[in-house]
């Protein structure tokens, strides 16, 4: 068990109200008009994947996907650990003891140790909160230590910069320093679970999940900006979780007890459940706030486009507690295609589902990252490559087997552009996307005629209740068919180039990609 010596005062499992008070007294944030705690994370307003390391011990070496994962030698790790432990001596610390994994059969005790009260509040709201009885017998199986004030020295600590996220999978210990962005806490835990759960027969998934009145579960995969959190928070269905789940022989279960929603351009009209969830106890990262009125300007990107809200899942009305559900009836892959090529809705075969899961496509837009002036095709294996310690095929095979075993239907949904690329076409209206997804989940499209997409091969419904039919076909939505074909061929080529780098893919899956 991880132990720190010679610390200052240690506050264990403080209630939300006390954590908020501590954060305010310590000058860590301010209260907005709705009572949410607003904080700023400084230089790092998002994850820093290039600063993440896995300790390369003999016990884990042969199980790691070393392509995107950076190794850290054990002796280098030990030096960094010693320096971090020295930094924490005589410092006031905050401890959260809780769990990950809503299914009791797979639940893991978690401990998060924080330098800041607001980050401990974040952990309290994002992970599963214990009962008083559970606290008495709590023994962590995974520990996260987050000390943003400790900056690494690359020449001494073997890091790339002052920021570091180091996962010791053998000891089940995560060290975070040099960055205040709380998402590193959440995603480092997810990465550890992605390492542990496959050996327990659980398919870990970067997805949201909800359930209908008849117990029909749907899961939503998607990268940031594709609408995963927004579309899963549907007033007509009950939310199981917005980001991380496991699929076992028992069904699915949420890894967490909270939501971490991107809130740029959030509106009460479009996303009422998320809007109402941002109240006392919630944490807002890097939003712009009027210092006098304490009103939040959700439209402002003055600090970052990646503004975030963290809140307990039960702040969403009707959320499923505990976060468990049946085997999914429907699997949805979300993408935000800025090239205007992919249809807003398409049904995938089993092989196509594997292909698009391994591809994990969306597009980055101009202005979202330094140096990007035109839309860029982005591929992230399994819709979460930065969080995969194992080879993508490990997760893809597990998901494919479960989809086949339980007869789950798989759909691709484009929440991006139609009628032309970014700057020419239009962004798909959220209300129309909701109509398409609701029709899909209700089975209303099962017998609707479909056309085969000429470039990607999947089946595109020709009609959907409440949706103009010309929107459903990308070719017909474009004013210039020749321009559409050129753009479609270019995107298909990017898919093929990305997929060529994957090794060991079954022939049927490799053949299920673009055909044009």
The torsion angle over the Cα atoms of residues 196, 200, 206 and 208, rounded to 10 degrees, is -140
The set of residues, in sequence order, having a beta carbon less than 8 Å from that of 92 and lying 6+ positions away, is 8, 9, 10, 11
How far is 492 from 503, CA to CA, in rounded Å? 19
The set of residues, in sequence order, having a beta carbon less than 8 Å from that of 339 and lying 6+ positions away, is 363, 375, 377, 416, 417, 421, 422, 487, 490, 491
What six digits make up the tokens of 506? 């079954």
47 is catalytic: yes
- Choice among 22, 111, 180, 228 that is catalytic: 228
- Choice among 45, 76, 191, 229 that is catalytic: 229
| CA separation, residue 380 to residues 363, 478, 495 (Å) | 10, 28, 11
265 is catalytic: no
186 is catalytic: no
- Choice among 22, 129, 187, 356 that is catalytic: 187
Half-sphere exposure in the Cβ direction for 498 (13 Å, CA): 22
- Choice among 129, 172, 206, 245 that is catalytic: 206
206 is catalytic: yes
How far is 498 from 495, CA to CA, in rounded Å? 5
Please classify residue 134 by burial: count the beta carbons closer than 10 Å to its beta carbon, then call 0-12 exposed, 13-18 middle and 19+ buried: middle
224 is catalytic: yes
187 is catalytic: yes
- Token pair 């949706």: residue: 467
Q: Could you tell me which of 111, 493, 33 has the C-alpha nearest to residue 275?
A: 33
Half-sphere exposure in the Cβ direction for 24 (13 Å, CA): 14
262 is catalytic: no
- Choice among 97, 103, 157, 243 that is catalytic: 243
321 is catalytic: no
- Choice among 22, 47, 111, 245 that is catalytic: 47
- Choice among 22, 172, 186, 308 that is catalytic: 308
- Choice among 7, 34, 224, 321 that is catalytic: 224
Active-site residues, by number, are: 47, 187, 206, 224, 228-229, 243, 308
């Amino acid at each position: 068990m991880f132990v720190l010596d010679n610390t200052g005062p240690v506050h264990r499992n403080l209630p939300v109200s006390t954590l908020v008070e501590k954060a305010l007294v310590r000058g860590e944030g301010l209260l907005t008009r709705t009572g949410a705690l607003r904080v700023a994370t400084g230089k790092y307003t998002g994850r820093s994947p290039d600063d993440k390391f896995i300790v390369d011990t003999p016990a884990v070496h042969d199980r790691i996907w070393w392509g995107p994962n950076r190794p850290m030698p054990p002796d280098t790790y030990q030096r960094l650990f010693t320096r971090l432990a020295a930094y924490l001596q005589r410092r006031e610390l905050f401890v959260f003891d809780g769990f990950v994994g809503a299914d009791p059969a797979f639940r893991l005790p978690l401990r998060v140790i924080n330098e800041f009260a607001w980050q401990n509040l974040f952990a309290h709201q994002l992970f599963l909160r214990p009962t008083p009885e559970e606290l008495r017998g709590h023994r962590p199986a995974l520990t996260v230590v987050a000390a943003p004030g400790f900056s690494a020295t690359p020449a001494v600590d073997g890091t790339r910069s002052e920021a570091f996220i180091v996962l010791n999978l053998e000891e089940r210990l995560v060290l975070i320093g040099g960055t205040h962005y709380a998402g590193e806490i959440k995603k480092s835990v997810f990465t550890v679970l992605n390492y542990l759960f496959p050996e327990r027969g659980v398919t870990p998934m970067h997805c949201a999940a909800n359930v209908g009145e008849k117990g029909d579960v749907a899961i939503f995969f998607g990268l940031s900006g594709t609408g995963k959190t927004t579309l899963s928070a549907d007033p007509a269905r009950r939310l199981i979780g917005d980001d991380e789940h496991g699929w076992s022989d028992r069904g699915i279960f949420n890894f967490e007890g909270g939501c971490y929603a991107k809130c740029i351009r959030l509106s009460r009209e479009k996303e009422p459940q998320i809007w109402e969830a941002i109240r006392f106890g919630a944490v807002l990262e890097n939003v712009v706030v009027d210092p006098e009125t304490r009103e939040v300007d959700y439209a402002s990107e003055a600090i970052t486009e990646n503004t975030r809200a963290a809140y307990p899942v039960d702040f969403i009305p009707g959320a499923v507690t505990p976060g468990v559900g049946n085997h999914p009836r429907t699997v949805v892959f979300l993408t935000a295609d800025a090239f205007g090529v992919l249809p807003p809705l398409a049904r995938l075969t089993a092989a196509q589902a594997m292909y698009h899961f391994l591809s994990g496509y969306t597009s980055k837009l101009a202005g979202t990252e330094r140096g990007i002036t035109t839309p860029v095709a982005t591929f992230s294996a399994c819709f979460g490559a930065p969080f995969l310690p194992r080879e993508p095929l490990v997760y893809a095979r597990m998901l494919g087997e479960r989809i086949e075993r339980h007869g789950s239907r798989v759909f691709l949904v484009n929440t991006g552009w139609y009628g032309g690329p970014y700057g020419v076409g239009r962004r798909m209206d959220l209300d129309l996307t909701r109509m398409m997804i609701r029709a899909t989940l209700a089975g209303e499209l099962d017998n609707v005629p479909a056309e085969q997409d000429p470039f990607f091969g999947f089946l595109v419904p020709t009609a959907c209740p409440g949706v103009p039919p010309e929107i459903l076909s990308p070719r017909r939505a474009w004013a210039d068919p020749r321009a559409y074909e050129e753009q479609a061929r270019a995107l298909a080529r990017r898919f093929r180039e990305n997929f060529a780098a994957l090794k060991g893919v079954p022939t049927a899956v490799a053949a299920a990609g673009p055909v044009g």
